Chains A and B, each alone.
Chain A
Amino acid sequence: MLVFLARRFAFFVLALVVSSVLIFSLIRIAGGNVAAVMLGKGASPQAIDELMAELGLDRPLPVQYFDWVAGMLRGDLGTSFRTGEPVTDLLVDRLPVSVPLALAGLALALLVAVPVGTYAATKAGTPTGAFVATLSQVGIAIPVFWAGVLLSLFFGVKLGWLPTGGWTPWTVSVTGAIRSLVLPMVALGMVMAATLTRYTRTAVLDVMNEDYVRTARASGMTKRAALFRVGVRNASLPLVTVVGLLAAELIGGTVIIEEVFSLPGLARMILSAVSAREVIVVQSTVMVIVAFVLVVNLVVDILYGVLDPRVRVTR
C-alpha cells in the first residue's frame, strides 16, 4: 500500500509539473506581445519595452516560470496587470459561484445516475430497460448549453418560476443565490447524469455476470441481496474511475453553463482575462483548475486502491 501511495503521489507531482510547463509555454509563446496589446495600436516600441520591463515580462522565460511556480508554492498566484488586484482575491470572488454550481451538478448527476443505471441493469432486456437506455442515449446527445436554454425557456420564461440568468450574491440574499443556481445546476446535472447512467448500467451488468455473484446467489441470497452486498463494492470500482474522468468534463460544462446563465464565475473571469491578455490571471486560474482535477484524480485512485487490493499490486 505504501509503495502504491508513493508511486501515485510521484505521478501527481509529475503531472503538476508537466501541466504547469504546458500552460506557461502555451500562454507565453502563443499569447503574443502582452504589452503591445495592452497599450493598443500606435504605441511606440519604446513604451512597449518599458511596460514589459515594468511587468517583469522582459526577463528570460525560465526565470519567469520559476518565479511564477515559486509564488504559487507560497500561495501567491500573482497580481492582475490592469487592476493590481491579487489573483487570489479574484478567485475568491468567483468561487462562490462556480464551486457550488459544479458540486451540486455532480451530486445531482450521481443521485440520478446511480439508482437509474442500477435499475436499468436489473431490467436489461425488458422494455423498461431499453427505455432507460434510450433516454440516456438521447441525453448524451444534448449539449449542455442547449439544455440550459430549454430549461430557462420553460421554467424562466413560460412559468416564470426562476430567473433566466444573472446572479444574486450570497451576501445579498441566500435564497436569491440559490434561485440563480437552480437551473444551471439542473442543466449540468442532467446532462452529466445521462453519461453516468450509461456507465453505471454497464458496470452493474458486468458485475451481475461475475462468478462471485452467482456464488452468492447459490448460497441462498436473493438477487437483490447479492447485488447490494457483493455487487455494489465491485461495481463501484469502474464508477469511481469515471467520476475522476468526469471531473475534467464537469469543469468544461460549468464554464459553458455559466456563460448561458450569465453567471459571474470562473468562465467569465478566464474569458475576459484572455481577451485582455492578462497572462498572469489566465495562467494561474487555469493552473488552479488543473490542479483541482489532478487532486480529484489522486483521491479517486487512492480510493480505488483502498477498495480493490489488486490495484495496489498491478500499478
Chain B
Amino acid sequence: MSDTTMAPGALPADGVPRRRRRWNASLLVGMVMTGAFLAIALLSLVWTPADPNQVAPRDRLLPAGSAGHLLGTDALGRDVASALMAGAWTSIVVAAGAALIALVLGTISGLAATSNRQYVNETVMRGADILLSMPGVVFALVLAATIGAGVGATIFALSVFFTPSFTRVVRAAALRVLEEDFVTAAALYGRRRLFILARHVVPNIFSVMIVQFTLYFAVGILTEAGLSYLGVGVTRPEVSWGILLKEAQETVGVASPLAIWPGLAIVFAVLGLNILGDGLRDVLDPRLRRRKS
C-alpha cells in the first residue's frame, strides 16, 4: 500500500476516511434540534422568565415583544414563553418516561418471545397483537378518567400502548442475531441461554432499541399533547403544550398567536427527534435500510 507514507491520522487520497461513516446530515440536524429542545427543557427547571402559573389580571393578552414577556401573555396574564419552556420539560418527562418503560418491558417480552418453547412465543406475540389492535387514545382516555388524569397516569397509559411495538421490533432483531455463528459457538461452548441473550444478543440489538426509543419519544410527545388537549392527560399546575393550545382555543379563539406557539413547539420537538432517529439508524446500523429520504 502506498498509503504508508501518509502522516498518521491523515485522510486517504480521496478524502474519505476508510471506516464506517460516523456522521450524516440527518444526525447533525436531529441532534441540533433535539439538543435545543432538551436544553430549553432543562433550563426551565432552574429558570423561566416568570412563573408559568402566575396569574396577572392586569397583564392580560399582552402581544409578543412586550416588556418582560417575550411571547406575550395569555388570557389570565400568564407568561407564554415560560409556559412553553415548562411544557418542554413535561413533554420529556411523560414521553421519554413512557418510551423508557416500554423499552424495558418490550425488551424483556421480546427476548422472551424468542424462546424455544412455542407456547411462550405464541402467548407473548398474540398478546402484543391484541394490544396493538386497540385504539390507544381511547384507552388512555378511559384510563386517565378512571385512575385520574396526571403525569403518572399519562406515562402509564402511554407505556402500555408503546410496549407491543417494542416487543415486536426487539424480537425480530433478536431472532436475526440468534442465527449468527457466534451465538451457535457460544451455545456449543455451553453458555446458558440467559447469558447468550445478555452478552451476545442485547449488545447487538442495542442500536435497534435506541432508534425505536427515539421514534417513540416523538410519538409520546404527540400523544401526550393530544391527551392533555382532551383534558385527560397532564393537568394544571403542570404545564403541557396540549393544555396551552386548548386554553388558547377556549379563551381567545383560534385567531390568536397563543394557538400557534404550542403547535410550533410540538412540531419542532417531534421533527427533531424523528430526524435524529433516522440519522441514528444510518450510523448505528447500516444494515437497516432507512425508511426516509
Contacts and interface: CB of A to CB of B under 8 A. Distances in A.
A144 B263 CA distance: 10
Interface residues of B, number: 44
B138 A146 contact: no
A94 B66 CA distance: 45
A289 B142 CA distance: 13
B188 interface: no
Contacts of B242: 143, 145
Contacts of B133: 15, 244, 247-248, 290, 293-294, 297
A294 B135 CA distance: 10
B137 A252 contact: yes
Contact of A138 (B229, B254, B267): B267
A245 B132 contact: yes
Contacts of A252: 135-138, 226
A59 to B, nearest CB: 20
Given A145-B229, A146-B266, A26 B143 contact: yes
B280 interface: no
Interface in B142-166: 142-143, 145-147
B275 interface: yes
A236 B230 CA distance: 35
Interface in B119-147: 126-127, 129-130, 132-139, 141-143, 145-147
A156 B138 contact: no
A84 B152 CA distance: 35
A275 B230 CA distance: 13
Interface stretch (A39-47, A67-75, A147-155): A147-155
A190 to B, nearest CB: 14
Contact of B229 (A19, A31, A256, A294): A256
Contacts of B262: 146
Contacts of A202: 291
Given A143-B226, A256-B230, A153 B254 contact: yes
Given A146-B245, A149-B245, A255-B230, A274 B138 contact: no
Most chain A CB inside 10 Å of its own CB: which residue of B132, B275, B292: B292
B146 A26 contact: yes
Contacts of A259: 229-230
B255 interface: yes
Given A30-B147, A252-B138, A145 B129 contact: no
A133 B226 contact: no
Contacts of B231: 271
A27 B254 contact: no
A281 B136 CA distance: 19
Contact of B255 (A27, A157, A198, A267): A157
B143 to A, nearest CB: 7
Contacts of A251: 135, 137-138
B130 A15 contact: yes
Contacts of B130: 14-15, 18-19
B255 A153 contact: yes
B84 interface: no
A99 interface: no
Interface string A172-215: 00000000000000000000000000100010000000000000
B141 A270 contact: yes
Interface of A is mostly: helix
A293 B139 CA distance: 13
Interface in A127-174: 129-130, 133-134, 137-138, 140-146, 149-150, 152-153, 156-157, 164
User: How many of chain A's residues touch chain B, expressed as a range?
Assistant: 35 or more
A66 interface: no
Interface string B168-200: 000000000000000000000000000000000
A293 B266 contact: no
A260 B225 CA distance: 13
B270 interface: yes
Nearest to A132: B293
Nearest to B273: A141
A282 interface: yes
Interface of B: 126-127, 129-130, 132-139, 141-143, 145-147, 218, 222, 225-226, 229-232, 242, 245, 249, 253-255, 259, 262-263, 266-267, 270-271, 274-275, 291-293
Interface of A: 11, 14-15, 18-19, 23, 26-27, 30-32, 124, 129-130, 133-134, 137-138, 140-146, 149-150, 152-153, 156-157, 164, 198, 202, 244-245, 247-249, 251-253, 255-256, 259-260, 267, 270-271, 274-275, 282, 286, 289-290, 293-294, 297
Please give me the 6 A-B residue pairs with the lowest Cβ-Cβ distance, nearest first. A252-B137, A146-B263, A274-B145, A133-B293, A141-B270, A141-B271
Given A27-B142, A30-B147, A137-B293, 4 more contacts: A124-B293, A143-B229, A146-B262, A248-B136
